[in-house]
Amino acid sequence: MKLKKWEIALICALVLTFLCGAALAKEQEDLSGKLIRLHVVANSDSDEDQALKLQVRDSILEYLTALLEGTTDREKAVEIIESRMDSIVEVSEAVIREQGYGYQAAAIIAAEDFPTREYDTFSLPAGEYTSLRIVIGGGGGRNWWCVIFPPLCLSAATADSEAFRQLTDEQIRLITSDEPEYVIKFKSIEWLNKIKTWLGLQGNKG
């Protein structure tokens, strides 16, 4: 059976989409393989619990920045964090107690699916990333997340900073450039993940 022109065009478009999608997925996977995200979940959306979340965040960032200083290998960073999980919980709960709350904290490091996120000096495409997830109390409030390895959460993290030296030039351009080429590529990664979620090929976590 001879295919019509529109059918041939559709097949070519589908093949091109698949090939481009695979390349974009690989690019996002390569990027995520160099990062560790920090994900802090508040007890609730009340003003008090949201303020407490940020106080826990600040203490954890301070603790982890000192803990990971000098570490250049992501797998080593994961090992260090995993070996200090009890201390991470203790640091979190110390802040909670200081603020007069009785909530418990829980911490786990695992893979999580994240949406697209824009920060002051860079952006990250949606996708799966290794994450240190800290849940305060019932964990029913809004999230806060950023990158703890390399330490891109810090306000001093710019494209010229030491933190970005863990990444390739292409990865730095992808997450920091506002040029049309990179904006399209960034959005394409976001759309690809949305399509995969819609098709049931990946779930939404966190």
Which residues are CB-contacts of 140 (< 8 A; sequence separation ≥ 6)?
42, 43, 44, 45
Whether 147 is in a domain gets the answer: yes
- The whole domain housing 86 covers 29-198
- The pLDDT of 37-63, averaged and rounded, is 95
For residue 182, what pLDDT is reported? 43
> How many whole angstroms separate alpha carbon 189 and alpha carbon 26?
10
For residue 56, what pLDDT is reported? 96
Whether 24 is in a domain gets the answer: no
Which region, left, alpha or beta, applies to residue 127 given φ > 0 means left and ψ of -120 to 50 means alpha? Answer: left
Whether 88 is in a domain gets the answer: yes
Q: How confident is the model at residue 36 (pLDDT cuts 50, 70, 90)?
A: very high
Closest CA relative to residue 172, chosen from 136, 126, 124: 124
pLDDT in tens, 63-98: 998 999 889 899 999 999 999 999 999 999 999 999
- Residue with the bigger pLDDT between 99 and 18: it is 99
Give the total number of structural domains in the chain. 1
For residue 156, what pLDDT is reported? 39
Radius of gyration of the chain (CA): 20
Whether 5 is in a domain gets the answer: no
For residue 127, what pLDDT is reported? 81
For residue 203, what pLDDT is reported? 47
Answer yes or no: pTM beyond 0.75. no
Whether 62 is in a domain gets the answer: yes
Whether 149 is in a domain gets the answer: yes
Are 112 and 124 in contact, with CB atoms under 8 Å apart? no
Q: To the nearest whole percent, how much of the chain has pLDDT over 90?
A: 40
Q: How confident is the model at residue 113 (pLDDT cuts 50, 70, 90)?
A: confident
15-19, 134-138, 173-177, range with the lowest pLDDT: 15-19
For residue 206, what pLDDT is reported? 41
Whether 38 is in a domain gets the answer: yes
> How many whole angstroms separate alpha carbon 155 and alpha carbon 168?
21
Whether 163 is in a domain gets the answer: yes
